[in-house]
């Protein structure tokens, strides 16, 4: 996942699914309405209608699904669009969404044949076909789109040549007919079904992105449609009466309030003005919240699947020297940083978080905090008196709190840090630009629960480009090769071994400093029903309802 703020069964085809089954994906038949609804709640408990209010500190940068990667647009993707697959409630189990079944995987794991659900329509009334998916996926690989997830698709047959000369269609993405999609990969990739469930894999009508203002007025097939986007103030979504997954969604409208700080959001929630916070609970208010007996039953912990980390731009002086990078890493007191966020998580010594395939607690090196040795390394690197540098982060909590402590830690070894705490949307523009940000403070929530997500997005050669998420611009072909081998593995133990070796090599080069793996705390209003927290999406807004709503569902569209 993707930096975001605190932001679906398979009929077994044994031979073709050997790679997937070997890595423990849950494969089961899907035929019931309850499964496609992604909701196990009894409809006798559900209420319909009303406006769900959510607040965010920052606005979305775009509603173009192939480009979206900030916190607000991430939530909007679930509102406006469908993907082939989604996650079942609060699990990491995939089930069909726009697909009518899980893929038939052929040719030893290299070919996916996917049936498209019948009867789906876009909000403009146009039927959803396989050709629309071809168009949407081609856009990810077209360099003009500048999609931040291009690296996840680079293993598709024909992707490399298309990225250089985007003419026609990607050869490995084909519409066999109006209701059948085929995707061919260069090599087996056990994480690819998860890629098809990412927000950027949302389907839009073929040709629609060329329309003026598309990024602000997109056309999707999701549970809601966009009524209005008042930049910097609000987004208003209204129920799509023609949505295929009746009676989802449960509320008539969803209102995104843009601008309130996380502190104000929490106050608004306590007063009943909003039902959910779009941002994390401020560390400064965590104890106040958890100590409030009236809020206790409304607090829901969520599995983090995340890593908070510091990056070095490895091509910028002095961080082009690995000794300097190691020195800075040794000077940071990670356990103290974790205490600043009320110990909501565990100290990190690697990029792979717990509960993600590839994590092995014993495989991580012990945490090292040694300012004296850090100073000696700086002297050896030619900086006996330290140096001055810049650190970029978001301008919200916990970043500002962590900024100040890291600044103090590094001052002890002679490194003077100038802090630039900026808005989230501006942050990604700067950190994805080469030779621009010497150090950044960031985090990653899993897009899907395998280590390849962290490596491919944050540390791969493919992502070390302008517009990518690799803020270190680190590139090591050996690391990429091990990750690819893990993806092709048919056994979890071999995949874990390869991921661990990739992590060992990467950490020896120290392009990042993993700080901690976070756990998150969600809180919702008392009048919000059906709440569950999704490990990948965070919130699942179309599946919540207001307890004050009607017991009678709206008429089918």
pLDDT band, very low/low/confident/very high, at 36 (cuts 50, 70, 90)? very low
Return the CATH number of 306-518, one of 3.30.470.20, 3.10.105.10, 3.30.365.10, 1.10.1040.10.
3.10.105.10
Q: Mean of the pLDDT values across residues 437-452?
A: 92
pLDDT the model gives residue 1: 40
User: Taking 50 as the threshold, does the pLDDT of residue 436 lie above it?
Assistant: yes
Main-chain dihedrals φ then ψ at residue 34, nearest 5 degrees: -60, -35
User: Taking 90 as the threshold, does the pLDDT of residue 385 lie above it?
Assistant: yes
Using CA atoms, how far apart are residues 136 and 116, in angstroms rounded to an integer? 14
Q: Mean of the pLDDT values across residues 213-238?
A: 96
CB-based burial of residue 213 (10 Å sphere; 0-12 exposed, 13-18 middle, 19+ buried)? Answer: exposed
What secondary structure letter does DSSP report for 211? Answer: S
User: What tokens were used for 476?
Assistant: 């090591």
3-state secondary structure of 446: coil
pLDDT the model gives residue 439: 98
Q: Mean of the pLDDT values across residues 17-43?
A: 39
CB-based burial of residue 177 (10 Å sphere; 0-12 exposed, 13-18 middle, 19+ buried)? Answer: exposed
3-state secondary structure of 289: helix
DSSP character string of 77-131:
HHHH---SEEE-TTSS-EEESSBSSPPEEEGGGTEEEEEBPTT-B-TTSPBP-HH
Would you state the CATH architecture of domain 18-45+60-210?
Alpha-Beta Complex (3.90)
Domain spans of the chain? 18-45+60-210, 306-518
Q: Mean of the pLDDT values across residues 528-549?
A: 93
Q: pTM (2 decimals)? A: 0.77
pLDDT the model gives residue 396: 85
User: Taking 70 as the threshold, does the pLDDT of residue 84 lie above it?
Assistant: yes
Q: Nearest to residue 63, comparing CAs of 194, 219, 251?
A: 219
């Amino acid at each position: 996942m993707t930096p975001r703020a605190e932001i679906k069964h398979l009929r077994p085809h044994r031979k073709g699914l050997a790679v997937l089954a070997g890595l423990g994906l849950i494969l089961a038949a899907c035929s019931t309405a309850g499964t496609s609804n992604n909701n196990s709640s009894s409809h006798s408990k559900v209420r319909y209608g009303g406006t769900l209010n959510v607040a965010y500190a920052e606005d979305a940068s775009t509603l173009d699904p192939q480009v979206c990667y900030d916190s607000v647009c991430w939530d909007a993707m679930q509102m406006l669009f469908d993907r082939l697959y989604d996650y079942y409630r609060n699990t990491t189990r995939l089930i069909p969404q726009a697909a009518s079944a899980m893929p038939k995987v052929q040719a030893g794991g290299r070919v996916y044949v996917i049936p498209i659900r019948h009867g789906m329509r876009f909000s403009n009334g146009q039927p959803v076909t396989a050709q629309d998916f071809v168009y949407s996926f081609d856009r990810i690989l077209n360099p003009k789109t500048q999609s931040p997830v291009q690296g996840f698709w680079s293993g598709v047959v024909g992707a490399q040549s298309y990225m250089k000369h985007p003419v026609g269609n990607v050869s490995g993405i084909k519409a066999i007919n109006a209701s059948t999609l085929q995707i061919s990969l260069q090599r087996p990739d056990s994480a690819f079904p998860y890629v098809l469930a990412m927000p950027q894999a949302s389907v839009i009508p073929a040709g629609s992105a060329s329309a003026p203002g598309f990024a602000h007025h997109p056309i999707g097939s999701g549970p809601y449609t966009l009524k209005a986007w008042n930049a910097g103030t609000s987004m208003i979504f209204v129920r799509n009466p023609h949505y295929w997954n009746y009676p989802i969604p449960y509320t008539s409208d969803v209102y995104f309030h843009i601008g309130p700080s996380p502190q104000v959001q929490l106050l608004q929630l306590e007063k009943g003005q909003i039902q959910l916070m779009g941002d994390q609970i401020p560390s400064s208010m965590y104890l106040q919240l958890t100590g409030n007996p009236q809020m206790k039953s409304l607090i829901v912990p969520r599995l983090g699947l995340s890593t908070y980390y510091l990056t070095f731009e490895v091509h910028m002086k002095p961080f082009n020297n690995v000794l300097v990078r190691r020195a800075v890493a040794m000077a940071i007191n990670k356990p103290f940083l974790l205490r600043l966020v009320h110990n909501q998580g565990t100290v990190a010594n690697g990029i792979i978080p717990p509960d993600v395939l590839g994590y092995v607690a014993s495989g991580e090196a012990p945490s090292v905090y040694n300012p004296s040795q850090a100073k000696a390394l700086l002297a050896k690197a030619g900086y006996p008196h330290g140096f001055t540098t810049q650190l970029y982060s978001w301008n919200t909590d916990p970043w500002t709190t962590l900024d100040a402590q890291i600044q103090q830690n590094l001052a002890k070894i002679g490194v003077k840090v100038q802090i630039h705490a900026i808005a989230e949307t501006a942050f990604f523009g700067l950190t994805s630009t080469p030779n621009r940000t010497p150090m950044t403070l960031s985090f990653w929530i899993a897009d899907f629960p395998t280590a390849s997500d962290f490596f491919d997005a944050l540390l791969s050669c493919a992502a070390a480009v302008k517009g990518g998420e690799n803020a270190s611009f680190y590139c090591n072909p050996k690391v990429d090769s091990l990750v690819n081998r893990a993806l092709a593995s048919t056994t979890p133990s071999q995949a874990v071994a390869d991921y661990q070796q990739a992590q060992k090599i990467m950490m020896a080069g120290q392009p990042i400093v993993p700080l901690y793996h976070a756990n998150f705390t969600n809180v919702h209003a008392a009048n919000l029903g059906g709440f569950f927290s999704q490990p990948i999406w965070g919130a699942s807004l179309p599946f919540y309802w207001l307890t004050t709503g009607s017991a009678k569902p709206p008429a089918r569209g």
